[in-house]
């Protein structure tokens, strides 16, 4: 995993962040929150399945560009608890802050208050497809019991 502060934001892009990387068997790497003004990288011998970012409740927010690769290929991660107004739920550009008083209108940026969790996955659309299927089946079953099929009436 690599990271660098996102200088395209303008001023106040440096700040506090830390993270915990999880693999299949548990914690792979843990970095306590610290002030970051540049970039860094961490290598693991296992695939990262989950990442939890934290800023230790600091109001010194940070804008980051995060990249996770395996054998040179980018891995995708989806946020499970980013701000509901976040322009993106995908890991790439990240804003994490304790009071969320920074610039919020940047496209493609995931917004996290104090901490957030990213889980490895290809797309949230995959989750939505299962939800749509569930709703369709639920509608079908409810409509069957509310409006049962018509049976012929022969007057006997």
Is the confidence at residue 153, as pLDDT, over 60? no
Q: Judge whether 149 lies within some domain.
A: no
Q: How many CA atoms lie within 13 A of 48 on its CB side?
A: 28
Tell me the pLDDT band of 126, cut-offs 50, 70 and 90. Answer: very low
The confidence score (pLDDT) of residue 155 equals: 57
Whether residue 133 is contained in a domain is answered as: no
Query: pLDDT tens across 1-19, in order?
Result: 999 999 888 777 899 999 9
d(CA 28, CA 56): 20
Residue 60, domain member (yes or no): yes
**How many domains are contained in the chain?**
1
Nearest to 22 by CA among 2, 55, 48: 48
> pLDDT at position 9, please?
82
Higher-scoring residue by pLDDT: 52, 156:
52
Edge-first strand listing for the sheet containing 62-67: 39-41, 2-5, 62-67, 93-97, 109-113
Contact 137, 129 (CB under 8 A): no
With respect to residue 138, please indicate whether it lies within any of the assigned structural domains: no
Q: What confidence score (pLDDT) does residue 12 get? A: 79
134 falls within a domain: no
59-111 residue pLDDT tens: 999 999 999 999 999 999 999 999 999 999 999 999 999 999 988 888 899 99
User: Is 130 part of any domain?
Assistant: no
In a domain, 137, yes or no: no
pLDDT above 70: percentage of residues in the chain: 83
Residues near 104 by beta carbon (within 8 Å), at least 6 away in sequence: 85, 95, 111
CB distance 59 to 68 below 8 Å:
no
- Cα–Cα distance measured from residue 40 to residue 128, given in angstroms and rounded to the nearest whole number: 34
Please tell me the distance from the alpha carbon of residue 6 to that of residue 12, in angstroms, as a whole number. Answer: 10
Distance CA 7, CA 16 (A): 15
Which CATH number fits the domain that encloses residue 83?
2.60.60
pTM: 0.76
Q: What mean pLDDT, rounded, does the chain reach?
A: 87
Q: Give mean pLDDT, residues 40-58.
A: 95
Residue 71 lies in a domain: yes
- The number of CA neighbours under 13 Å toward the Cβ of 139 is 6
Which residue range forms the structural domain that includes residue 102? 2-123
């Amino acid at each position: 995993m690599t990271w660098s502060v996102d200088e395209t934001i303008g001023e106040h892009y440096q700040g506090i962040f830390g993270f915990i990387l999880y693999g299949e068997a548990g914690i792979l790497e843990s970095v306590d929150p610290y002030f970051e003004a540049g970039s860094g990288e961490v290598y693991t011998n296992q695939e990262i399945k989950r990442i939890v970012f934290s800023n230790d409740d600091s109001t010194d927010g940070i804008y980051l560009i995060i990249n996770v690769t395996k054998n040179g290929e980018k891995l995708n991660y989806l946020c499970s608890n980013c701000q509901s107004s976040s322009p993106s739920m995908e890991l790439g550009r990240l804003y994490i802050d304790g009071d969320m008083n920074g610039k919020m209108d940047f496209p493609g940026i995931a917004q996290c208050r104090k901490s957030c969790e990213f889980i490895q996955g290809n797309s949230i659309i995959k989750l939505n497809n299962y939800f749509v299927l569930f709703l369709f089946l639920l509608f079908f079953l409810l409509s069957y019991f509310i409006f049962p099929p018509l049976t012929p009436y022969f007057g006997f």
